């Protein structure tokens, strides 16, 4: 068989309903990693869904408990044809955010796939059960098409806690560095730049969550008796935030910004547009860093957001001066930012502006910013493979606007990272009515079959080119 046959087999896997059947079984498992009651389902997803499929493809495997107590498990698997051959590592996560069952549109159920036109509704269809199901199915078709031998090795890690910040992933990868050693990382998560345009992204913006809190006194005090005499925590916190980001979303703390926007990133983004889809919100043209295009602000620059702000009792306000205020904030940042000292920079800025009474603490699990060089040989190879399959030039994003645990693969494991997303921005992935587009899933099976086929034909040559370039450099 040849490349075209492998792609045809992947297309048939979608058209004859096999893909739908497998995905429906996976969606039915309530793998809500944020809920302690879901722990049995997290293990069941690995044992009942991943293990049988991987064993059928010739993988050996192990379930690895999280080194952090009461956190989600991992599956590590490998299919070795020749220890000296090219090795690719792939990844996926089987956990999902809570179902929010009652909030879905009438007739929909987060734990059952419902097809409405091109939309396949169900929790995890887009994030991430649908995406890694596509990749494993495409790999299976290529193994079959090549008579059982790929010509390279494949390793996989599936985690069940990505939606809680991937706790333990870094430690597991560090502890199993040899078992996960590879030449290239290929996986799928996140959205395409547009539903109709195949996309590769090479990393992600970092994610730094922090809380600003001001507690001035116990309890509230009547504003008629004490107004004008007592400091208002809400007003002080609002003014502190105003020194950090202006009324147009521009970050004012220079130490929270990257050094520059590299020319290679600008060049890669020239053909990219964001927004404009039927379900996309309208972009505010004057929001964020001035002088940058919308896509440069999203992909190439930092953004500071207030996720939640509270003072007093918003649900039932009273005529009293609150005793406290807090704001949960988030910095999305790119490569070139001083990520090791973000908390210190915020603290120094607040102190410099007289807000020494505001406490700042980190929250959640930070994710580091990563970005593979757009000129890397593996990037050129991936773009050429996708174009050969689809007949159109794919979009290249130096990094995703959101955050993924890509730093684990790029820095701890030291791999060039190619992400090929199979969703789109308006898929409602963390909200009610999450859905996968059937047309995108069908094309994605073709794309991934092409990539996995081309690895067998071209991967060893690309790897040798990378080694020679590295030796010369």
> Residue 463: in which H helix or E strand, if any?
helix 438-472
pLDDT tens, residue by residue, 410-469: 999 999 999 999 999 899 999 999 999 999 999 999 999 999 999 999 999 999 988 877
> For 238-278, how does the pLDDT look when each residue is reduced to its tens digit (9 = 90+)?
999 999 999 999 999 999 999 999 998 999 999 898 877 77
CATH code where residue 308 lies: 3.30.70.360
Do 98 and 141 share a domain, yes or no? yes
Q: What is the distance between the alpha carbons of residues 144 and 140, in angstroms, rounded to a whole number? A: 6
In this structure, the answer to whether residues 152 and 60 fall within a common structural domain is yes
Residue 186 pLDDT greater than 80, yes or no: yes
The verdict on residue 276 lying in a domain is no
**How big is the CA angle at 136 (ends 132 and 137), to the nearest 5 degrees?**
115
Kindly tell me the sign of the dihedral angle through the C-alpha atoms of 267, 271, 272, 275.
positive
| CATH number, residue 40 | 3.40.630.10
At residue 332, what are phi and psi to the nearest 5 degrees? -95, 125
User: What's the rounded Cα separation, in Å, for the pair 14 and 17?
Assistant: 6
Q: In what order do the strands lie in the sheet with 206-215?
A: 303-311, 324-333, 206-215, 359-367
Cα 49 from Cα 43, distance rounded (Å): 10
Whether residue 165 sits in one domain with residue 236 = no
Q: What is the pLDDT of residue 45?
A: 98
For the cut 70, the answer to whether the pLDDT of residue 471 exceeds it is: no
Q: From CA 441, how far away is CA 11, in angstroms rounded?
A: 10
Average pLDDT over the chain reads 95
Q: Which of the 8 DSSP states describes residue 410?
A: I
- CB of 171 within 8 A of CB of 106? no
* Residues spanned by the domain of 129: 3-204+369-472
The residue assigned the tokens 């102190």 is 351
pLDDT band at 18 (very low <50, low <70, confident <90, very high): very high
Q: Which helix (H) or strand (E) holds 206?
A: strand 206-215
H-only helix segments in 359-437? 377-390, 406-407
How far, in Å, are 222, 311, 358 from residue 236 at the CA level? 18, 11, 9
Average pLDDT rounded to a whole number, residues 345-374? 94
| Helical segments of 58-191, H only | 129-145, 169-175
And the tokens for 139? 């790999």
Q: How many CB atoms lie within 10 A of CB 281?
A: 9
Count up the domains in the chain and report the number: 2
Looking at 325, 350, 367, the residue that finishes a domain is 367
Query: Same domain, yes or no, for 99 and 199?
Result: yes
d(CA 324, CA 214): 6
Give the number of other CB atoms < 10 A from CB of residue 453.
28
Is residue 340 located within the same domain as residue 219?
A: yes
Q: Which residue among 367, 382, 412 closes a domain? A: 367
Phi/psi of residue 359, each to 5°? -85, 140
How far apart (Å, rounded) are the C-alpha atoms in residues 207 and 1?
A: 45
Residue in 58, 95, 101, 47 with CA at minimum distance from that of residue 80? 58
| Together in a domain, 237 and 363 | yes
Alpha helices in 258-390 (DSSP H): 263-269, 294-299, 342-352, 377-390
Which long-range contacts does 290-294 make (Cβ < 8 Å, 24+ apart)?
290/248, 290/250, 292/261, 293/269
**H or E element at residue 471:** helix 438-472
Residue 359 domain flag: yes
> At a CB cut-off of 8 Å and minimum separation 6, what does 108 contact?
114, 121, 432, 433
Residue 128 in any domain: the answer is yes
Tokens of 365: 């699990």
- The token pair at 375 is 């000129």
Instruction: Let me know: does 196 contact 390? Beta carbons within 8 Å.
Output: no
Q: Is this model's pTM higher than 0.75 or not?
A: yes
Is 351 domain-assigned?
yes
- Is residue 314 included in any domain, yes or no? yes
Q: Give a yes or no: residue 190 inside a domain.
A: yes
Phi and psi at residue 20, to the nearest 5° = -60, -45
Domain closes at, from 330, 348, 367: 367
Same domain, 411 and 311: no
- Contact between 204 and 404 (Cβ < 8 Å): yes
Q: Is residue 21 part of a domain?
A: yes
In tens, the pLDDT along 87-137 reads 999 999 999 999 999 999 999 999 999 999 999 999 999 999 999 999 999
The predicted structure's pLDDT at residue 114: 98
Sheet of 435-437, strand order: 114-116, 119-121, 435-437
Residue 451 tokens read as 């990539």
Query: 244 to each of 14, 257, 284, 335, 362, how far by Cα in Å?
Result: 50, 11, 20, 20, 17
Q: Is residue 66 part of a domain?
A: yes
The token duo for 190 is 């996140």
Tell me the pairing of strands 395-397 and 199-201.
Answer: parallel
- Least confident range from 167-181, 189-203, 211-225, 277-291: namely 277-291
- Residue 231 pLDDT class (50, 70, 90 cuts): very high
3-state SS class at 9: helix
17 and 151 belong to one structural domain: yes
Give the CA radius of gyration of the chain: 24
Q: What are the start-end ranges of the E strands in 30-116?
A: 60-64, 74-79, 87-93, 114-116
Position 97 scores a pLDDT of 97
Regarding whether 217 and 338 lie in a shared domain, the answer is yes
Residue range 224-234: mean pLDDT, rounded: 95
Per this entry, what is the length of the chain? 473
Same domain, 313 and 436: no
97 & 242 share domain: no
Does 184 lie in the same domain as 57? yes
Name the residue among 268, 225, 220 with its Cα closest to residue 380.
Answer: 268
Expressed in angstroms, the distance from the first to the final Cα of the chain is 39
């Amino acid at each position: 068989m040849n490349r075209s046959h492998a792609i045809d087999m992947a297309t048939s896997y979608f058209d004859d309903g096999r893909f739908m059947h497998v995905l429906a079984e996976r969606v039915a498992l309530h793998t809500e990693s944020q809920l302690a009651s879901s722990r049995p389902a997290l293990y069941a997803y690995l044992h009942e869904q991943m293990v049988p499929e991987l064993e059928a493809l010739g993988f050996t495997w192990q379930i690895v408990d999280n080194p952090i107590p009461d956190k989600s498990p991992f599956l590590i698997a490998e299919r070795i044809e020749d220890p000296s051959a090219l090795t690719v590592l792939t990844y996926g996560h089987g956990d999902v955010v809570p179902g929010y069952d009652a909030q879905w549109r009438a007739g929909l159920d987060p734990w059952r796939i419902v097809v409405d036109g091109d939309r396949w509704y169900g929790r995890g269809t887009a994030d991430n059960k649908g995406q890694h199901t596509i990749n494993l199915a495409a790999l299976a078709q290529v193994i079959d098409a090549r008579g059982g031998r790929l010509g390279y090795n494949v390793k996989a890690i599936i985690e069940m806690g990505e939606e809680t910040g991937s706790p333990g992933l870094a430690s597991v990868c560090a502890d199993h560095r040899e078992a996960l050693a590879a030449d290239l990382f290929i996986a799928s998560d996140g959205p395409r730049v547009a539903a109709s345009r195949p996309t590769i992204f090479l990393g992600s913006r970092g994610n730094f969550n922090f809380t600003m809190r001001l507690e001035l006194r116990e309890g509230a005090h009547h504003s008629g008796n004490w107004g004008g005499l007592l400091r208002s925590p809400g007003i002080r916190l609002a003014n502190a935030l105003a020194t950090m980001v202006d009324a147009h979303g521009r970050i004012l703390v220079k130490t929270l910004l990257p050094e520059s926007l590299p020319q290679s990133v600008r060049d890669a983004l020239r053909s990219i547009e964001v927004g404009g889809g039927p379900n996309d919100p309208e972009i505010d043209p004057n929001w964020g860093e001035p002088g940058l295009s919308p896509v440069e602000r999203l992909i190439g620059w930092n953004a500071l957001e207030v996720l939640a702000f509270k003072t007093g009792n918003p649900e039932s306000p009273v005529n009293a001066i609150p005793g406290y205020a807090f704001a949960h904030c988030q910095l999305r940042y790119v490569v070139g930012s001083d990520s090791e000292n973000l908390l210190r920079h915020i603290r120094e800025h607040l102190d410099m502006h007289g807000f020494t009474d505001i406490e700042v603490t980190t929250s959640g699990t930070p994710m580091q910013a990563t970005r593979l060089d757009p000129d890397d040989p593996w990037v050129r190879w991936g773009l050429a493979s996708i174009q050969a399959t689809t007949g159109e030039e794919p979009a290249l994003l130096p990094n995703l606007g959101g955050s993924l645990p890509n730093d684990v693969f790029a820095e701890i494991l030291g791999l060039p990272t190619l992400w090929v997303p199979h969703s789109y921005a308006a898929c409602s992935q963390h909200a009610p009515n999450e859905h996968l587009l059937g047309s995108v899933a069908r094309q994605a099976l073709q794309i991934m079959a092409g990539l996995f086929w081309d690895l067998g034909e071209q991967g060893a040559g690309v790897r040798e080119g990378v080694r020679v370039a590295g030796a010369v450099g």
